[in-house]
Amino acid sequence: MSEGKTATPLDADTREALAAIVGTEGVLTDPGDCWPYGYDNSRRHALPQAVVFATSHEQVRDIVVLCNRQRIPLIARGKGTGTTGATVPHRGGIILALERMDRILEIDPANRIARVQPGVTNQALQQALYPHGFFWPPDPTSAAICTVGGNLAYNSAGPRAVKYNTPRENTLGLRAVSGAGEELRTGVITSKGVVGYDLTRLLIGSEGTLAIITEAVLKLTPLPEAKATLQATYRDMHAAARAVSAIMAQPITPCALEFMDGASIDMVRNYSDLDLPEAVGALLMIEVDGPAHGLDQSLQAVIDAARIEGMVGIEVAHSEQDVERLWRTRKALSPALRNIAPKKINEDVVVPVSRIPDLIGGLERLSGRFDIRIVNFGHAGNGNIHVNLLSDPDDPAMMARAHECLSETFDLVLQLGGTLSGEHGVGLEKRDYIGREIEPATLRLMHAIRRQFDPQGILNPGKTLPESGGATDETR
């Protein structure tokens, strides 16, 4: 949906100044050329006044200095795969496209680090690391096209986070430009370092509201020697949720622990030819990795934990074909969802693993009360649940119920000790709910930090934090 104020053309002097920084081929001002850069995967859209393609740290610095001087909103963008509207220029301004900053500057196996620009795609990085025997743990579903810069901006992790953690734990240092145009270096290139405040972790997940990342030093992990894949099926989601708790309570941590609830499985049954018994009301996809000599024991420990009352069956993959077949059930879900509800509301809440049964039960009650079908799947190993409210934007009454249901979903998550977003970020979609999770004193401190980094409020204004009412919190 299009929104926000109408983009007014930049004046000739500003266009010339931008062209002087990046060259005439690096600036788009025609509305037709700029249009594709005004969206993300949230379905929100707003037309930017211009799109500027940077290829170096120095160019980013000079663009920020120019926008800071003229108080022009500046929104950094990777490939636009985000789902929260965080890169949509809803208040006008310039899109700073970082997709051409796509160089892997260094791979250093001896120190287990890589130094990259923000426009490198996650997949390209993994492919470059593989011959060296390493990988970077974050693996979002959109890894084939999403950028490392976007992964850092949202702290996006994916299935492997259950064992290998998120970008915050896998990034050692950053090079960046603050909203004031100041050049920053944060963190270290060593595995230990405690000098000064941890600005690296502060910038990661800040959605381009504090500074624009131009380079990252990433901590690498050796590729595991071996991996085993299995699928465990259960009578219902409550049994599957109890199995998740049992698996996570024993010493072996899976490298992936994904789940699908009954509504998800029904969709797969209806929109694919996968053979799932009618008795299956939930399933877990589990992967275990590690040294080859101990993998069988690790796998058996996970299988033993997964065998609880309500289990229908467990199947272990014995070949690559088996692995592909077992994952096919999970991979069939997204196309099925697109067929049934292409405009669904998709949230990525997180609760403590032990509270997943309470969350699922609460969502079932909300679904019945608001007459909104809810489909749940996601990263069960760390309680990161993708809650999908199947709603029709062309039906005002249904949308009103869906948004009320969403509001109560967030309240339920917070009551269970959870958080409103695990890896999709806040952007515009969740901004107005953030005050429910973060108390006023902490929010005031966050606004003060934002002003310190970006005194004129030019970086991604109106995103991530709820409005505080101060004139300096957004572009004036």
pLDDT for res 1:
60
Q: What is the mean pLDDT of residues 171-188?
A: 98
Report the percent of the chain where pLDDT is more than 70.
Answer: 96
**What tens digit of pLDDT does each residue of 107-119 get?**
999 999 999 999 9
Report the percent of the chain where pLDDT is more than 90.
Answer: 84
Contact between 226 and 289 (Cβ < 8 Å): yes
**What tens digit of pLDDT does each residue of 393-420 get?**
889 999 999 999 999 999 999 999 999 9
CATH architecture for residues 341-454:
2-Layer Sandwich (3.30)
pLDDT for res 103:
98
CA gap 468, 433 in Å, rounded: 13
pLDDT for res 472:
37
CA atoms within 13 A on the CB side of 129: 25
CA gap 271, 294 in Å, rounded: 39
Which of 215, 118, 183 minimizes the C-alpha distance to 453?
183
The topology (CATH level 3) of 12-97 is 3.30.43
What are the beta bridge partners of residue 183? Answer: 177
- Give residues with Cβ within 8 angstroms of 62, minimum separation 6: 21
Write the secondary structure of 125-183 as one string of H (helix), E (strand) and C (coil): HHHHHHHHCEECCCCCCCCCCCEHHHHHHHCCCCCCHHHHCCHHHHEEEEEEEECCCCE
Residue 2 pLDDT exceeds 70: no
Residue 468 pLDDT exceeds 90: no
Q: What is the mean pLDDT of residues 325-348?
A: 82
- Give residues with Cβ within 8 angstroms of 410, minimum separation 6: 347, 349, 420, 433, 436
pLDDT for res 470:
41
For 278, which DSSP code?
Answer: T
Residue 57: pLDDT band (50, 70, 90) is very high
Which of 385, 457, 391 minimizes the C-alpha distance to 424?
385
For 109, which DSSP code?
Answer: G
Query: 333-340 and 262-271 are packed helices; what angle lies between their axes, rounded to 10 degrees?
Result: 80
CA gap 261, 263 in Å, rounded: 6
Q: What is the mean pLDDT of residues 213-224?
A: 98
pTM over 0.85: yes
Q: Structural domain boundaries of the chain?
A: 12-97, 104-222, 224-334, 341-454
pLDDT for res 411:
98
CA gap 165, 159 in Å, rounded: 9
Residue 3: pLDDT band (50, 70, 90) is low
Token pair of 277, please?
């018994």
Q: What is the mean pLDDT of residues 183-210?
A: 96
pLDDT for res 268:
84
Q: What is the mean pLDDT of residues 247-252?
A: 96
Token pair of 427, please?
């952007």
**What tens digit of pLDDT does each residue of 263-313 get?**
889 888 877 667 788 899 999 999 999 999 999 999 999 999 999 999 999
pLDDT for res 7:
64
pLDDT for res 218:
98
Mind giving me the DSSP string for 190-246?
A: SS---SS--HHHHHTTSTTSSEEEEEEEEEPEEPPSEEEEEEEEESSHHHHHHHHHH
Residue 475: pLDDT band (50, 70, 90) is very low
Q: Which of 5-9, 119-123, 260-264, 439-443 has the lowest mean pLDDT?
A: 5-9
**What tens digit of pLDDT does each residue of 425-467 get?**
999 999 999 999 999 999 999 999 999 999 999 999 999 999 8
Q: What is the mean pLDDT of residues 222-236?
A: 97
pLDDT for res 402:
95
The topology (CATH level 3) of 224-334 is Alpha-Beta Plaits (3.30.70)
Contact between 168 and 204 (Cβ < 8 Å): yes
Contact between 271 and 336 (Cβ < 8 Å): yes
CA gap 168, 2 in Å, rounded: 33
The topology (CATH level 3) of 104-222 is 3.30.465
Residue 341 pLDDT exceeds 80: no
Residue 367 pLDDT exceeds 50: yes
Residue 332: pLDDT band (50, 70, 90) is confident
pLDDT for res 276:
82
Residue 349: pLDDT band (50, 70, 90) is very high
pLDDT for res 5:
55
Residue 23: pLDDT band (50, 70, 90) is very high
Fold match flag (12-97 vs 341-454): no
